[in-house]
Every structure is written in C-alpha cells, then in structure tokens.
Amino acid sequence: MRNIFKIKQIKFIAYIVFMGVVSTSCTDEYLEISAYGTPVESSFYKTPEDAEQALNAAYSPTREMYGKENFWAGFSTDICFGDAGTDDMLKGGANPADNIHLFEKENYNITSSNVAVSRIWQVNYKGILYANLVLKHIPAIEFTDEERKKEILAEAYFLRAYYFFDLVNTYGGVPIVDKPLKVGEFNLPRATKEETYAFIEEDLKKAIADLPSRFNKGTDYLGHADKGAALGLMMRVSLYQNKMNQVKTYGEQFLTLPYTLPEYDKIFKQEGEWNSGSVYEINFATNTSNVGTSIPRYLTVRSEKGYGFMQIKEDLRNEFEPNDPRFDASFYNVPGGYGTEWYNKKYSWAPHSDYAFPTVGGINNSANNIKVIRLSDVFLMYAEAIYDTDPLTAIEYVNKVRRRARGNELPTVVPDLPLTLSGQALLDAIYHERRVELAGEGFRYHDLIRTGRAEAILGPLGFQAGKHEVMPLPFDQIQLSQGVLEQNNY
C-alpha cells in the first residue's frame, strides 16, 4: 500500500543494547563463547547498512508510542491522555471509570503510578538511547555516500529532540542523556526545563543544517524526518516557550519549501498520506508484521468493535462555525452507549474512513498514519508569532487555512477574517482556528497551558495552576533514583 520505512527491521537492533551490556566474571572456558546469531554492540556499527538499521531502531519508539505492541503506550499519547480532562474531550469508554489512567487525568487526580506517566518516560528514553547509539557509532563508519552519512546523523538529532520534547512537555525538566550510559552512570539528576529546551534546540539546529527536503527525495524516503519536519518541530518547540521571534525566524525558513494545503476531507484518508501539506507522519500498515497502530481501535465507537474513548464534547462541537466542512470531516455520531456519542473520524476505519477494518494481526493493527506536523499547524504557529507585529500577514496565513477549509462553498462559509482585525481579537481568531483545524489531534491541553488559559478554562474541570501543567514523574523512577530525582508538585 505504501512505503513503511523498512519498519520490519527496526526491532532487532534493540537486542544490541542488551547484549552489549552483558558481561561475565566467570572464567570457565565453556562460558567464554562468541555471540552467535544476534550482533552485539562491539561487532555491529561497521557498515552503512548497519547504520541504516541502527537509524531504523531509533525511529521505532515513535511507532511504538502509537503502535500495537505496547498496548498502554497508545493510551498515553496526547491524542488520548494529553487531551483527557480538557473542554474538547470526554474520556469515554464503557463507563465513567473505564481505563483508570485516563480517569485520573480527566479528574485531575493523577498519581505517580499512572501507567501513562510511566509509558511516556520509558518509550521516550528508549528512543533517546537508540538515537545516542547512532550518534556515538555512525561517525566512525566509512561511507561512499558522505551526504547520506550526514543525513543519518541529522535524523538522529531530530529524533533525540523529538523524544526530549515529549518528555519536557510531560514532566518539565528531565535528566539530559546525551550519550549511551555505562553501568554506574544511570542515576542522573533532572535538568531544568530551560536547560532541557536548550538541549532540544541545539539538536534541532544540527538537524536543520544537514537534513534534505523530502521534495528532493524519492517516495522511499517518506517516513524519514526531513528539513521541513525539523523546521516545523523547531517552530513548535519555540512556540511552547513563547519565543515568538524564533517561531517567526524558523517559520520564514519553512515557508520557502514547496508545501501546499490539500483538501481537508482527504487528509486523514489513505490518499492523504504524505500529501502536499504533510510535514511529518509516522507510517503504519496492516500486515502480518503487526506494524499497525492501535489508535483507531481506542477511538472507534464500541458498537463497531472499538473502545469508544476520547469522545467529542459539545463545547468543541459548538466551536465550529455553521456549515464548516471540517466538522463532518472530523467527527461522526453513533447514538447509544455511554458518553457524548460523538467520535473522532480522523483516526477511524470503515465506514467512517477509507481505512479497512484490520483483519490481519488483530484489531489493534490499523494502517492509519499518525499526522505529527501539518502545514496548517505551521501556518497558524507563524500567524500567532507575528499577529501583533504584522497583523496583515498573520491574517493572510489564517485565511489560507480558512479558504482551504471552505473549499468550493460560498465565501460566506468560513469567511475570510477581515483585514481590519488586530490585537486580542486577532489572537482569539487564531486560537479559534487552531482549535477547529486541529481538533482531535492532541494539541488542546498544551495550547491552553502555553497560552496561560488553562486555569480559566480547565479550572472548573479540576485543573490546578502550579500543579497540572506537568505530570508527576513515575514512582518507580523516583524510587530507583534513591532521592536524586525530585518529584513534581504531586
């Protein structure tokens, strides 16, 4: 159906990590044998092919977070755990208490033993380890194609930044691990939030410098991070720190790339994978290798073999302007059962999308790609960065998004913002556009926190300022650190 970025190869490299740290104090000759079958760290990282496989391993946790093999990780994503407890999403499920870690988030009674809190830590630090292995070993490998070598290292920098960004958004400052650690080096203290962000930015600068654009590559490159992905992520990293001048700077670099907005109702269909406005996606496929995603199963109505989580609240539905075509492209209604009876169409299967119900590898093995960065998000980040210094250009980019949403409808449907708009009214219009354009994609919670609106909007739902901006560190990590890791305000 599409390139899956050699996803079947990405798991085996994990064995290198475990084999590489095993040592023995035994002197018996029969125990001192060479590794056979699976390569160890010392015998791997020799060829460009090894480098590609190591890079594939570094990508694997991006897929694991949404994939089939780690059941609770999918529930821990921003699409689920992140937006639970917001004015956009009702936890859903079979009943109010179904799925305890989403129940805790929805009620703002989050414990350090929450499985989502644990999975976010585990999966991201696994990704950081694999990226660090690439950055440690690949420079010593001889390549005939030196450009590809630079690209591999740049992709690893992107991935390390990607994983740390999820961590800092979840916990605040975290231990910065910039190399594979040896025994005795594991127990690192937390860096500050500012130090963690600075580390992310340095990695992204390196990625931006050496990554190519996917528009200069073949279709087999789709699934790799490219220059657009690195610029888009840098914009998001900057936005979440309120560094608006930096958002503007990297936005201007991004806007030189040949992305265009596709039709909205095709974005989350199979034909919309890696469309002209797709900046970064995580590839999935339904096949016997079980490299599908579990997200559609979690979000689909229970009467159609889903779990019925993350249902759409009335507040979000009412945010849409009359006749906005994005409403029907984003949601569907199935009466009956617990909850609002409105569901997220963006990650669904037939009959609500053209993704077939998975019949190979189990129901959690769906083919839907996860859209991480889209062009409309970039346009709206850029508009938000310049709304007070260049309102006309900000309006231009918001109107690009609105016109695409309108499609062939009359100009009175999702009408253009007036050119006279400015100040808080313009900023509010940008906030509105982000909410409806990106509905159900996992941005609402972080948008409310970074813009200082969380207490006013989420306070009635249980959110406490000074506490719920971040999650607690996992209990087991606090225990293992023997006091080195300091817990958040929980």
Each domain of the chain, given as residue ranges in start order, spans 7-460
Q: Identify whether the C-beta of residue 159 lies closer than 8 Å to the C-beta of residue 131.
A: yes
Average pLDDT over residues 378-407: 98
**Residue 326 scores a pLDDT above 70:** yes
Average pLDDT over residues 100-110: 97
Q: What is the pLDDT of residue 39?
A: 63
The percent of residues in the chain predicted with pLDDT above 90, rounded, is 88
Residue 312's pLDDT band (boundaries 50, 70, 90)?
very high
Please state, in angstroms and rounded to a whole number, the distance separating the CA atoms of residues 335 and 361.
29
Q: Which H or E element spans position 202?
A: helix 193-210
Mean pLDDT for the chain overall: 92
**Residue 326, both tokens:** 């994005």
Contacts of 198 (CB under 8 A, 6+ apart): none
**Residue 304, both tokens:** 């159609």
Q: What is the DSSP letter of 215?
A: G
Q: What is the pLDDT of residue 32?
A: 42
Q: Is the pTM of this model over 0.85?
A: yes
Q: What is the pLDDT of residue 469?
A: 98
Residue 391's pLDDT band (boundaries 50, 70, 90)?
very high
How would DSSP label each residue in 218-266? -GGGBTB--HHHHHHHHHHHHHTTT-HHHHHHHHHHHTTS---PPPGGG
Cis peptide before 351 (omega within 30 of 0): yes
**Residue 4 scores a pLDDT above 90:** no
Q: What is the pLDDT of residue 43?
A: 81
**Residue 127 scores a pLDDT above 50:** yes
């509905």: which residue's tokens? Answer: 439
> Domain spanning 7-460: which CATH class is it, in words?
mainly alpha
**Residue 11 scores a pLDDT above 60:** no
Average pLDDT over residues 222-251: 98
Please state, in angstroms and rounded to a whole number, the distance separating the CA atoms of residues 54 and 10.
8
Q: Identify whether the C-beta of residue 214 lies closer than 8 Å to the C-beta of residue 224.
A: yes
Class of residue 260 by CB neighbours under 10 A (exposed 0-12, middle 13-18, buried 19+) = exposed
Q: Identify whether the C-beta of residue 334 lies closer than 8 Å to the C-beta of residue 306.
A: no
H-assigned helices in 240-338: 244-254, 295-299, 314-319, 325-330
Q: What is the pLDDT of residue 270?
A: 96
Residue 290's pLDDT band (boundaries 50, 70, 90)?
confident
Q: Identify whether the C-beta of residue 60 lies closer than 8 Å to the C-beta of residue 66.
A: no
Average pLDDT over residues 11-18: 39
Residue with more model confidence, 19 or 211: 211
**Residue 28 scores a pLDDT above 70:** no
pLDDT in tens, 145-180: 999 999 999 999 999 999 999 999 999 999 999 999
